[in-house]
């Protein structure tokens, strides 16, 4: 099978799951990983026969995609905020909305007048580590701590920290049942915020392959994490400190209400015009 023939095969096998443009993108991505050819080399060598071993590997990848498994998990990595991150079944695949959250955070921290030297940042819900690692990259003088309940997620996050040679204080703790002991200049979080009753609305490719504890609220109260963060911010976010949250778009006003004691608290929309973020200054 030639490279060109494989791309046609890929498109035909996955036509029910991906659009033509998505198929083109993914087939090129997998060929690059297995064969080592970039897009230019793939075009130049379109009629080149694939090695038998490479063809078998590529066919296996197609089978995994057909099962609904996210391509990022199959590759074992994804790009986020211009950085490469390792991902697996123990962490959520980072979404574009979380890139937006970080854009807001970086912009507001820079314009806030807060002293960056010695800045103390707490991230709640580490996952793959994208939030603390991006912040540490952009604010290398900051002290960044990040907490997660899942030891397996923390293992993946530590792997990403080692890859980027960034120093993060990773904390294994059950945040909802734990007490903070330090004060922070910044609190940021993308906690589990999908209500249990919303599970039927979530695609199988998400809920069957990504960790449910990172997706769904652990109780019937979809705001349980936001209530705990609001209480902790009263005691452990410094005066003038900043808060950044990614939230459930269906619960924007209810979530914002929890932070009305801040001197400034705003509900912000994402690029799709959904209520997606809370920005606050204490």
Q: What is the pLDDT along the chain (282 residues), one digit of tens a residue?
A: 999 999 999 999 998 888 888 889 999 999 999 999 999 999 999 999 999 999 999 999 999 998 888 889 899 999 999 999 999 988 988 989 999 999 999 999 999 988 888 899 999 999 999 999 999 999 999 999 999 999 999 999 999 999 999 999 999 999 989 999 999 999 999 987 665 555 555 555 554 554 555 555 566 678 999 999 999 999 999 999 999 999 988 899 999 999 999 999 999 999 999 999 999 999
Nearest partner of 174 among 152, 153, 148, 154, judged by Cα: 148
Q: What is the pLDDT of residue 220?
A: 66
pTM for this entry: 0.86
Angle at 93 between CA 65 and CA 18, to 5 degrees: 35
Break the chain down into helix, strand, coil percent, rounded to 5: 45, 20, 35
Distance CA 126, CA 172 (A): 10
255, with CB counted inside 10 A (0-12, 13-18, 19+), is buried
The DSSP letter of residue 194 is B
């Amino acid at each position: 099978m030639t490279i060109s023939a494989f791309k046609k095969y890929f498109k035909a096998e996955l036509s029910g799951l991906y659009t033509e443009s998505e198929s083109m993108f993914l087939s090129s991505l997998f060929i690059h990983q297995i064969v080592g050819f970039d897009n230019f080399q793939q075009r130049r060598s379109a009629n080149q026969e694939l090695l038998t071993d490479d063809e078998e590997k590529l066919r296996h990848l197609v089978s995994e995609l057909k099962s609904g498994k996210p391509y990022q998990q199959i590759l074992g990595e994804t790009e986020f905020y211009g950085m490469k991150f390792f991902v697996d079944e123990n962490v959520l695949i980072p979404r574009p909305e979380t890139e937006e959250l970080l854009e807001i955070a970086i912009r507001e921290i820079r314009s806030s007048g807060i002293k960056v030297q010695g800045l103390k940042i707490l991230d709640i819900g580490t996952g793959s580590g994208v939030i603390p690692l991006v912040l540490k990259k952009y604010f290398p003088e900051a002290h960044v701590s990040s907490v997660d309940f899942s030891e397996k997620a923390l293992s993946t996050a530590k792997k990403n920290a080692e890859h980027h040679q960034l120093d993060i204080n990773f904390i294994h703790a059950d945040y909802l049942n734990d007490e903070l002991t330090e004060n922070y200049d910044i609190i940021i979080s993308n906690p589990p915020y999908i209500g249990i009753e919303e599970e039927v609305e979530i695609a199988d490719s998400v809920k069957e392959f990504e960790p449910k504890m990172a997706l769904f609220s652990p109780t019937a109260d979809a705001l349980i994490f936001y209530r705990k963060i609001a209480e902790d911010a009263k005691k452990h976010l410094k005066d003038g400190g900043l808060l950044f949250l990614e939230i459930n778009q269906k619960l924007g006003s209810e979530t914002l209400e929890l932070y009305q004691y801040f001197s400034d608290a705003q509900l912000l929309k994402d690029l799709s015009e959904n209520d997606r973020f809370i920005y606050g200054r204490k």
